[in-house]
């Protein structure tokens, strides 16, 4: 009987399949960079989705101290994703236009992990489901995220369990519908911010959620600037107006009352 081979670095990390998974279509030097940036982003999104699953479970169990670590990790990963725009921005309009046509109508718009991230935070727009192939695992995962309570729904439920008076619309709703901000939800979180020492775990949770919304807006902003730098006002391959569309997404907030309450403090 032969002995089991010692574990190697390459085996453990599945380097063979990973490093064989870049397939530029053109002969252009920068196409590899474009692929590597996107693959890296999808790996980070995979980790982010894992952390958000864990965070949801921890909030549901009222383990608000433990959730801090996982949510901090999410916003640090977001910071890395935002920095990677500076690597991509070394690609000029001439470089990109030399291979852009090979992309056809594919686009980041079709990233199911990005949409799942938005859904898990609380940004529910069911119209994105149709971009995933019927019967695919990606579509199933996306639909499951659409139908589950988001981080914001879980945070509001935790607030209610702590004794705050929250409206039924925020606590028992059709989770797949877009979240509608509510005056009473804002007032309850404002109470938390008025007396941080008394409500420290909820206060800390709220600030971690604001970090994530903040980092997402920063990422979106760098996306728009980088896209404008590389393709100007051209239409997107995914069929949108391009920069004008991306600009319209910067104002999205997954935790709207955590932003609006600030005017009251």
Q: Which residue has the tokens 């589950």?
A: 148
Contact 19, 39 (CB under 8 A): no
Residue 249 interacts, among ligand NFK, ligand HEM, none and using kind-specific CB cut-offs from 5 to 8 Å, with: ligand HEM
The correct pick among 99, 100, 117, 199 for binding ligand NFK (CB under 6 A) is 100
Asked if 24 interacts with ligand NFK (CB under 6 A), we say no
CB closer to ligand HEM out of 95 and 191: 95
Of the CA atoms within 13 Å of residue 264, those in its CB half-sphere come to: 15
Which residues from 95-114 bind ligand HEM, rule CB under 6 A?
96, 107-109, 111, 114
Sketch the per residue contact string, 177 through 206, with ligand NFK: x for CB under 6 A, - otherwise.
------------------------------
DSSP of 66-132: HHHHHHHHHHHHHHHHHHHHHHHTTS-HHHHHTTGGGGTT--GGG-HHHHHHHHHHT---GGGGGGS
Helix axes 200-231, 151-161, angle to 10 degrees: 160
Of the CA atoms within 13 Å of residue 188, those in its CB half-sphere come to: 21
User: What is the torsional sign of CA 25, 28, 29, 34?
Assistant: negative
CB closer to ligand HEM out of 116 and 156: 116
Asked if 220 interacts with ligand NFK (CB under 6 A), we say no
Distance CA 151, CA 253 (A): 13
Asked if 131 interacts with ligand HEM (CB under 6 A), we say no
Q: 183: which 2 tokens?
A: 């005056």
CB closer to ligand HEM out of 162 and 250: 250
Q: Which residue has the tokens 């999104």?
A: 45
Asked if 162 interacts with ligand NFK (CB under 6 A), we say no
Distance CA 212, CA 219 (A): 10
The number of residues that bind ligand NFK (CB under 6 A) is 10
Q: Could you tell me which residues come within 8 angstroms of residue 222 by beta carbon, excluding any fewer than 6 positions away?
A: 82, 85
Nearest distance from C-beta of residue 112 to ligand NFK, angstroms: 13
182 is in an annotated binding site: no
Asked if 237 interacts with ligand NFK (CB under 6 A), we say yes
117 is in an annotated binding site: no
38 is in an annotated binding site: yes
The number of residues that bind ligand HEM (CB under 6 A) is 23
The correct pick among 24, 126, 201, 238 for binding ligand NFK (CB under 6 A) is 238
Q: Residues interacting with ligand NFK, by CB under 6 A?
A: 38, 100, 103, 106-108, 231, 236-238
Annotated binding site: 34-38, 96, 100, 223, 237
Instruction: Extract the annotated binding site for heme.
Output: 223
């Amino acid at each position: 009987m032969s002995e089991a081979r010692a574990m190697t670095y390459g085996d453990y990390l599945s380097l063979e399949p990973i490093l064989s998974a870049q397939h530029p279509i053109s002969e252009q030097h920068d196409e590899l960079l474009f692929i590597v940036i996107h693959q890296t982003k999808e790996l980070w999104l995979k980790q982010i989705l894992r952390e958000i699953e864990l965070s949801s479970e921890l909030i549901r169990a009222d383990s608000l101290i433990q959730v801090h670590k996982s949510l901090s990790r999410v916003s640090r990963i977001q910071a890395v994703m935002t920095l990677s725009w500076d690597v991509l921005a070394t690609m000029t309009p001439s470089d990109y236009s030399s291979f852009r046509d090979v992309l056809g109508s594919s686009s980041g718009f079709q990233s199911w992990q990005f949409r799942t991230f938005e859904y898990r935070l609380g940004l529910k727009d069911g119209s994105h489901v149709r971009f995933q192939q019927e019967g695919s695992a990606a579509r199933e995962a996306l639909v499951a995220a659409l139908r589950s309570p988001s981080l914001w729904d879980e945070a509001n439920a935790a607030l209610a369990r702590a004794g705050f008076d929250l409206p039924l619309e925020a606590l028992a709703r059709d989770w797949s519908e877009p979240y509608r901000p509510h005056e009473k939800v804002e007032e309850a979180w404002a109470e938390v911010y008025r007396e941080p020492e008394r409500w420290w775990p909820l206060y800390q949770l709220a600030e971690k959620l604001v970090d994530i919304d903040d980092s997402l807006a920063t990422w979106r902003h760098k996306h728009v600037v980088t896209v404008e730098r590389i393709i100007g006002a051209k239409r997107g391959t995914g069929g949108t107006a391009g920069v004008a569309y991306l600009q319209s997404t910067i104002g999205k907030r997954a935790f709207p009352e955590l932003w609006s309450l600030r005017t009251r403090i």
